[in-house]
Structure 1
Amino acid sequence: MTTMTDPEITPQDEAARAGWLYYVGGLTQDQVAAELGVSRQRAQRLVAKAMADGLVHVRLEHKISACLDLEVDLTRRFGLKLARVVPALPAGLETSHATAPAAAQVLERYLAQPEPLIIAFGTGRSLSAMASEVIRTPHAPHRIVSLISNIAPDGSASFYDVIMRMADKLQLPHYPMLVPVITDTIAERALFNALRPVQAVMELAANADVTFVGIGQMNGEAPLYKDGFITRSQLEDLQRAGAVGEIVGGIFDAEGRYIDTETTRLIGSFRIPAGREKPVIAIAAGLSKIGAMRAALKGQLVNGLVTDESTARALLA
């Protein structure tokens, strides 16, 4: 004779239940505590954990009029095909937490298309946060392709590999860029570029129906430098050449024009052409990115933008 035993309740189980009761059930934290039989302080921590671990997703469905006005102004000023502006978070909080739900909603519109699409992705913190927020499954066998790899010169990978997260979540055919972001020599880069799988990925990227990218600044906090892809000396060389921003490894000046240096010739990625007709949507926010974002918009490297209210006001100032 066998007996049924209750499964062990994990901390995530408890956090998920607390998050459900608070965000979906509409209970107060005192009511959540009473329902779970825990203290109010523990209920508060569980609700916070549910949100931090991505166990629940909260989206703002009501469009705030100030954000709508900013969307109109951005569209007119920069000739955008799409603009989404979300309320800014308090200072000190990660801006990607604000933009991620809105960016995910934009992506989900394409995932809902009945015809198969090619959807291209950059990498980085903003897109990684977006991937975590996607909750709707695709309606067609879309293909997803990476515009740049996440492999550093020492063979390690960054934490912000978007293509694999998307592939795991959406169960779609995916095409990663399986080469180092930067090589030691131009000859080595040419060898990688000549590989048939790399050429196939580049061709898919060139024919993408929609592209999602982040925008990186080129100051001391440059993602390419912070994540170990380029050295301090290479960063300083790029800055001397006028670098202000970067999109999937394509480094550009204040006019939004790609620069050509010894370092840029070592970077392997799909370089997005200026003035592309198909949607190229940037997910970016933060006052430290204003110079890079304004240059990318000026050079027509992107034609769509998901950002927050503070950043939008600064761009329009």
Structure 2
Amino acid sequence: MNREEKKLELAARAAWMYYVAGLTQQEIAKALGLSRQVAQRLISGARETGLVAVNITHPVSGCIKLAHELQEKFALTLCRVVPSAGLENDAIQQMLAVEGADVMSQFIGDEQPKVFAVGSGKTLFAVIDALPRQERLQHQCVSMIGAISRDDSGTRYDVPLKLAEKMQGKYFFIPAPLYADSLQDKLIWCQHLVYQRVAARALNADITFLGIGEVELGCPLNTEGFITDDQVNDLKKQQVAGEMLGHFFNHEGVRLNSELDALLTSVPLSSNTTRPVIGFCGGAKKYHAIRAALIGKWLTGLVTDEDTALKLLQES
């Protein structure tokens, strides 16, 4: 047995102890002669590598009702709601990841070849992280967003690549920064034949998976170096509610005309689309962004949390 096989064997043993026997991480560490930190990493790794798949067979009836009401109110074709009452954001994100992975699996499991267009965001990354690895060589994964920041570095959250790795399918990426330095630079990037072929593939994808982001100082776009503090403040003066793929929209779901919008190289989004576009997002700080995306009809499907769903239904 080589080193990698031994590691998987140990992770599987830790997973059995944790998920089936109900042992604590400390008890597992003692039983296996490891530190608690190593035991924790083994259990987490077992989920990430597909050794463990969470399957809760008894649904929460209240969440099912909320999902149905949201689907009706916002004319969605798909909606899932996870329990969140009284939970911290990290716990909510983990449940969104598990539920989102279940939704994605339904599409990925299709034997017919499909093209998946994929956006960005930590929640979307967590959803794909929770997916089990499966051999789906017939599928293709296409990025909808440039991932080069102002200092020429790449993002730590290359979400489309993560999905391609999980499916073991082909990956097509946008060869451009998220925002060009000038209008002339944008034309150069977007007129490149590789860019145009990838963008066309994304626009004609069978299904699109998106994250929904808030726009505040310290938000991912800001901390990852894609937009400056001054640009965040300018967007807030325009009553920005959120963003998807770097497309900013106000509280009515209307696209904002900003200096950044003119320089954006992401694949264009269209409201009222007939193609399936599923958003994965939850938590109190994302509420206004989620609401605006729904009001603007940028999504046909949503995976969110209970508290967010209740608030969306209570507001007119």
Match of 1:52 among 30, 40, 44: 44
Encode CA deviations 1:90-118: one digit per residue, 9 max, x unaligned.
21525321111111111111112222111
Q: CA 1:200–1:125 in structure 2 vs 1: closer, same or farther (change >3 Å)? A: same
Contact 2:29 / 2:38 at 8 angstroms: preserved in 1?
no
RMSD value over aligned CA atoms? 2.7
1:18 to 10, 14, 20: 14
Which of 137-146 and 276-285 deviates more?
Answer: 137-146
Q: Is the 8 A contact 2:140 2:164 kept in 1?
A: no
Structure 1 partner of 2:79: 83
1:215: Cα distance to partner?
0.5
Partner of 1:125: 122
Indicate if the aligned counterparts of 2:136 and 2:167 stay in contact, CA closer than 8 A.
no
CA distance in 1, matches of 2:292, 2:57: 31
User: Does the Cα contact within 8 Å between 2:116 and 2:207 map onto a contact in 1?
Assistant: yes
Indicate how the Cα distance of structure 1 residues 267 and 90 shifts in structure 2: closer, same or farther if over 3 A, else same: same
Q: After TM superposition, give the deviation of residue 61 of structure 1 in Å.
A: 3.1
Residues 149-188 of structure 1 mapped to structure 2, 5 A cutoff: 149-188=146-185
- Deviation at residue 7 of structure 1 after TM alignment: 6.3
CA contact (8 A) 1:218 1:246 kept: yes
Counterpart contact for 1:281–1:302, Cα < 8 Å: yes
Give the equivalent residue in structure 1 for 2:70: 74
Structure 2 counterpart of 1:287: 284
The letter for the 2-side match of 1:101 is: V
Residues 294, 315 of structure 1: 8 Å contact kept: yes
1:255-276 CA-to-partner distances (Å, cap 9, x unmatched) read: 1111112121112101210001
What TM-score do you get using the length of structure 2 for normalisation?
0.88
Q: Unaligned stretches of 5+ in structure 1?
A: none
Distance in 1 (alpha carbons) for counterparts of 2:116 and 2:131: 14
Indicate conservation of the 8 Å contact 1:287/1:314, yes or no. Answer: no
Matched with 1:110 is: 107
Amino acid at match of 1:74: L
Aligned equivalent of 1:147, options 144, 147, 156: 144
- Tell me whether 1:236 sits opposite 2:228 in the alignment: no
Q: Which moved more, 1:195-204 or 1:49-58?
A: 49-58
Deviations 1:156-208 (A, max 9, x none): 11111011112222111111112101121111011100001111111111111
Aligned residue pairs total 309
Q: Which amino acid aligns with 1:75?
A: Q
Percentage of pairs with the same residue: 32
Q: TM-score, normalised by structure 1?
A: 0.88
Q: Which residue of structure 1 lines up, in the alignment, with residue 206 of structure 2?
A: 209
In structure 2, which of residues 177, 186, 191 is the aligned counterpart of residue 189 of structure 1? 186
Greater C-alpha radius of gyration:
1
Is the contact between residue 186 and residue 263 of structure 2 (CA under 8 Å) also seen in structure 1? Answer: yes
Residue 214 of structure 1: how far off its partner (Å): 0.5
User: Do the aligned residues in 1 keep the contact of 2:18 with 2:28 (CA within 8 Å)?
Assistant: no
Q: Which SS does the other structure have where 2:90 is aligned?
A: coil
State the SS of the aligned residue for 1:23: helix
Q: What secondary structure does 1:263 align onto?
A: helix
Letter in 2 for 1:270: V
Give the letter aligned to residue 205 of structure 1: A
